[in-house]
Structure 1
Amino acid sequence: MRANSSLLWTLVLAGVIALTVRTLVFQPFTIPSDSMRPALEPGDYVAVAKWPYGWSRLSLPLAPPLPRGRVFERLPERGDIVVFTPPHAPRTAYIKRVIGLPGDMVTVSGAVVHINGAPVPRGLVGEETRLSSDGEMTRYQVWQEILEGGRGYLVHDAGPGPLTEFGPVLVPDGHVFVLGDNRSESRDSRAAAPEGPGMAPVDHIIGRADRVLLSVRPDFSLWKPWTWTRIRTGRTFLSLDPEPR
């Protein structure tokens, strides 16, 4: 009887520790789409840090109906990749890059992002031909954008589209303006609800995507051992922190 009791308490303690880590420290997420290429690929398993911006009710399992706001609140930095839920779809998680902070005026003109009237510096790196979200081979230009403070990252651009021109818009208090790195195939702050998430409320941010824990190809299956070689080993523990330039 004592052995069974000890096992039960061990399982309870393990569950409490796992829940605490998931609530306060890290939560894993999987990437289902290519809207954040090239930083994130479909099949990436990402560690999302809970502490950088403080904790809100969305930090807790099932997002209980607690008061709005965050404990130890801190705004994201431009360039951070964040996971958040839009108010109109509380069971849906988006992962995007923070571009504009409260009070910023953001415009997208000819695919060039402008913050407070100044274009975000960018340079052409090259081209890639990849399978797009609609299943067609698409040629993308690859650009490097460099935000204030020298944080640089790559973006994909497949040419003019419905979201190539946007704004200007003022980022309201308590919100951030987010974009997907795959600018031609991302529903982000350029798309208002219900077509997209619109602006991301700060108290709806779950956390900051810090690192790729594991990356697998779409044809990988844990239940098919012959597919276990289809792990993208080069992306294992890949940092998502924008590189200083």
Structure 2
Amino acid sequence: MSSNSIGSGIIETIKTIVYALLIAGVFRTLFFQPFWIPSGSMKDTLLIGDFLFVNKMAYGYSQYSCPFAMCPFSGRIMGEEPELGDVVVFRHPTTGSDFIKRVIGLPGDKVQVQDGVLSINGEVVPQTDDGVFVETFEPQGPAGNLPQCANPSPGLGADCIKEKFIETLPNGVEHSVLNITNTRLDNTPVFTVPEGQFFFMGDNRDNSTDSRVAQGAGGVGFVPFENLIGRADRIMFSSAGRSMLFFWTWRGDRFFKAIE
């Protein structure tokens, strides 16, 4: 084989890699972004180790639609506001971290939690008892954190239990919420959502850093529309192990599971 042929083969290989990276970059920028659930704040809707693609087309595009927030424009283009109950990945307004929570308040809404029960615009959001959520008390995910439980001091390998309810939002969206214990966030002041911003909460209410706490106090506060990355629609697969590459730990009941 001649040196010219070898050189041509190397050039073609480099071109193929470059084209593949460009296509992947465009796909990730315009359509879907992969996201791996690192914490338990959205249990039992989302579990630690769930792997999903975020639909960027749902709300249009902002600078945060590009990797490393490098889109060369401000504001939002081709944007449609999320609906109450959507599960959304967004960029934290101050820390720059990506969060995933549920939309609980739209611009102009008044949101409050009293005795662990949500109210929107002065109307109590109904909750119906749905039994309990049970998981194993063991280290979870890459961080190896232990889950929080309503039953006191379960031993390793024992059942970790949380109360479970179905919450029905004013637009009819039903979703699961969990209760562990009474916390200070079970009673909040009334939050009035500013224009162009949104109020988010985790479904695992007692184990969620969300809009109930201001950004300056370590929470999320109100999130600008520009910071929304996309809507989480479906779980692709889920790993119960320390890495999503440990295929032998994948959960068989969560392949292509719709997010509600």
When normalised by structure 2's length, the TM-score is 0.85
SS in 2 for 1:229: helix
Measured in 2, the distance between the counterparts of 1:50 and 1:161 equals 34
More moved, 103-112 vs 131-140: 131-140
Matching residue's letter, 2:79: E
Q: Match of 1:200? A: 223
Identity of aligned residues (%): 38
Shift in Å, 1:171: 0.2
Are positions 1:189 and 2:211 aligned together?
yes
- Aligned residue among 88, 106, 109 for 1:104: 109
Q: Match of 1:162? A: 184
Are positions 1:14 and 2:40 aligned together?
no
Q: Which stretches in structure 2 are left out of the alignment for 5+ residues?
A: 1-6, 139-144, 151-160
The answer as to whether partners of 1:83 and 1:205 remain within 8 angstroms in 2 is yes
Are positions 1:232 and 2:251 aligned together?
yes
Are positions 1:142 and 2:161 aligned together?
no
Matched residue pairs, number? 236
Q: Match of 2:99? A: 94
Shift in Å, 1:164: 0.3
Q: Match of 1:38? A: 44
Q: Match of 1:218? A: 241
SS in 2 for 1:163: helix
Measured in 2, the distance between the counterparts of 1:135 and 1:234 equals 21
Shift in Å, 1:4: 2.6
Q: Match of 2:154? A: none
Q: Match of 1:123? A: 128
The answer as to whether partners of 1:42 and 1:218 remain within 8 angstroms in 2 is no
Over residues 85-110 of structure 1, what are the superposed CA-to-partner deviations in whole Å (9 max), with x where a residue is unaligned?
Answer: 122111x1110000110000111111
Shift in Å, 1:146: 1.1
Measured in 2, the distance between the counterparts of 1:26 and 1:75 equals 18
Q: Which stretches in structure 1 are left out of the alignment for 5+ residues?
A: none
Larger Rg: 2
Q: Match of 1:60? A: 66
Q: Match of 2:119? A: 114
Shift in Å, 1:210: 1.3
Matching residue's letter, 1:184: D
Go from structure 1 to structure 2 and tell me whether the alpha carbon gap of 1:207 and 1:116 turns closer, same or farther (over 3 Å shift): same
Over residues 198-240 of structure 1, what are the superposed CA-to-partner deviations in whole Å (9 max), with x where a residue is unaligned?
Answer: 1111100111111111101134573xxxx53211011111111
Q: Match of 2:4? A: none
SS in 2 for 1:62: helix
The answer as to whether partners of 1:86 and 1:201 remain within 8 angstroms in 2 is no
Matching residue's letter, 2:36: T
SS in 1 for 2:186: coil
Matching residue's letter, 1:175: Q
Measured in 2, the distance between the counterparts of 1:137 and 1:174 equals 36
Higher-helix-fraction structure: 2
Cα RMSD after superposing both structures = 1.8
The answer as to whether partners of 2:197 and 2:224 remain within 8 angstroms in 1 is yes
Matching residue's letter, 1:97: R
The answer as to whether partners of 1:129 and 1:137 remain within 8 angstroms in 2 is no
Measured in 2, the distance between the counterparts of 1:137 and 1:160 equals 12
Matching residue's letter, 2:19: L
The answer as to whether partners of 2:44 and 2:176 remain within 8 angstroms in 1 is yes
Over residues 10-66 of structure 1, what are the superposed CA-to-partner deviations in whole Å (9 max), with x where a residue is unaligned?
Answer: 222111110011001101011111000000001111110111000000001111374
SS in 2 for 1:75: coil
SS in 2 for 1:99: strand
